[in-house]
Chains A and B, each alone.
Chain A
């Protein structure tokens, strides 16, 4: 019980700066909301003052922040300028697609990256290493949105000899029957290019960190012991070195979760994938500040939460970090 409340306390402490930033960006920076509300219509100073009082803007900043906190934690993020619906309703629809895209890509990226990184790190400087690490470095230097565009043109629209196999936008086929028969398969077919883009750029992280982590294990005495027991080389690597190398890998990757979210936003925009990033981007047009605000809070809170979850997972897997 005490551990759970400590965990909640840490979560709130970590989220506070995000909320503060949201407050500064969306309540303080945009200027006087009273003026914005009465935009275009002449208003006397008294009317403006009355509006401000009604919105609670004449209270001290701290009070405003507390009321803001209360509203956010209740789920009241205001009403969308564009859709005229509660913001949380607008965003709730985008949460699923974002999780699907980011989650699938992370799973693939981790699996591929850890496998290639382990092989590269086991024989550093070898041919496999040079080739796979060179590829990983190049993909890591690639802007995610650009890779998406290239894949879109190459495999979606089709350019030159390459056929346009995959859909170029959205999560579902606009015309029923245009794509695969079952809805799940239709979504999966639309998911291919976005996931491929995100995976291609993200896997490099896992590769590079796993490679360094494994190379650091080489020469450890317990590996000589494993070889002396009669294990094959691959067995020594996979059963002893890799599990030990995984722990620092996970720890370092905690720091890079924000990169996955940024990549997801870029991919959603390029492929018109209807997730939080796509919604936020299109909210820029109006600008639909409440939606932007809500998307920013949700995405940042997502990063914080995932960081904490990954931290807990790492603790569970390293017996040295557990209390005796």
Chain B
């Protein structure tokens, strides 16, 4: 009772002033945001490609073409950004020389390369048939089309299914490790909740669907069914994300759980955090209404790509808030830790650079791989007429 009375008295007066305390800087840089963003896009894109790839569902094949490009391009760039977040990137081999099976990050260092290899293997199996059809072309494109398929054998369907299933298994491992890695940290109450991995997962699916919509538009594929499917995925994932966030809040309020009370304190004490909270809610609601309206009103379809970009923005902002902003919440000192995004490679340059690398990877794949022709689709020669002559489906 004595202790409680003292604590109450403490809360009444706020004249206590911190005189000396060090500044505790952030230890994970925006590279971490890029990694968590890209890897979530990758595993979620892989899942979106599965109905068309493994199950062979005709209606999902256009989506599978788009999503496979997303899964491959992000799987290539994500490990680069992860490496860049290490302060000693050239020591990455220590992960394999001195593994620690007690560490989620160590487990992740085994899952991640296996996942990347399997995704690349799956894409190679899927893309080698359309590549072979380009073998008679001249120049570098033709050369790659002749060499990359490694022979003229027909891709066995069972092999695509087997590699696809293995990639999905590893993608689940990657999904679990990226979530658990952060959620086990008791030292940061805002991370220490089992709801966080679920939100990483759902915002990842939202982003992946948004990516497919954007690629659908800007690759000139403009497939209306794929666009509608992705909007439906976004709608369902948004509802689930809302339920998870609501459940987190309701359960946290009911039992005074650490991450919820920390979140409420933070939003109360910091105007920046209030802005983040409002912005997150508004972006989610606008995305939900936009996707819903666009499904109802067919005439809005031409602007679906805007919703795709918004979905990507939601997935990225969630990670920025969770990984960067939470690091500014002081653990032992008063107020908030100051964080200004650096101009150089630990900040803006790193963010822009990793997105630039990602774009370059997509463009290089687009240049040398007829990915549009996978699963019985048309090669890009048809796209110019689609842009010029046919009605736009967005």
**A and B are partners in one complex rather than unrelated chains:** no
